[in-house]
Amino acid sequence: MPRFAANLSLMFNELGFLERFAAARAAGFDGVEFLFPYAFEAEQIASRLQRYHLELALHNFPAGDWSAGERGLACDPRRTGEFQDTVELALEYALDLGVKRLHCLAGKLPPNVAHARAHATFVDNLRFAAAALAPHGIDLLIEPINDRDIPGYFLTRSAQAAAIIAEAAVPNLFLQYDIYHMQRMEGDLAHTLRERLPLIRHIQLADVPGRHEPGTGEINFPFLFRTLDELGYDGWVGCEYIPLGDTVAGLGWRDN
């Protein structure tokens, strides 16, 4: 079976955020991930990672004004300076928390900006971010996200992500493959995992529909887990799902 990391932004929401680290350890997780650490001092999180012997698999760059619907700044040519500031902040936290993978949210295609210009901006910003992270041994990841959940999101397909990675041509830029998002956008999950595995440094999961735990929808997760084992994937699989009920009660899928 793959190594599973609990996503503390979505799981264990019965508890406050800082209490979820203990809950993840008690539930048998060795790793965690979350969307953003920035509402807390890095030391608050680092101390809990250390206390509960948890590895932080991943977190995101700041995404702009999340409550206003922003989902990243990286493709907006008018906000390059802001984006560069988010790289600096994310790196500060990454160094304090010992994380070796950071996800750069592409953002939504800005109004009145041509797709080609947004694409060029995204590639340039990825080169900037990758160069900032490289001396610290940190990988930069990009993730295609379905445009039903986030209408207008710039990066939506695995082939698009692979082409951007090739164009950026930096050694520490990789693919974050989210099973939930890619089932909604393109399907063909096992084939894509086989084809794209050399580019993949992190995987996330949730079932479709509903974005709940494995076994609640249409995806054949036991088959996908066997596929990952056969391929020799040894990275984390982040459990980025919304539990249908109590988080711990819904963890039986790990035993299948």
Known catalytic residues are 143, 240
Helix, coil or strand: residue 166: helix
Asked if 140 and 129 touch (Cβ cutoff 8 Å), the reply is yes
- How far apart are the C-alpha atoms of 172 and 169, rounded to whole Å? 9
Q: Which residues share a beta bridge with 3?
A: 236
Nearest to 45 by CA among 8, 4, 88: 8
- How far apart are the C-alpha atoms of 22 and 8, rounded to whole Å? 11
Please state whether the peptide bond connecting residue 110 to the residue before it is cis, i.e. omega within 30 degrees of 0.
Answer: no
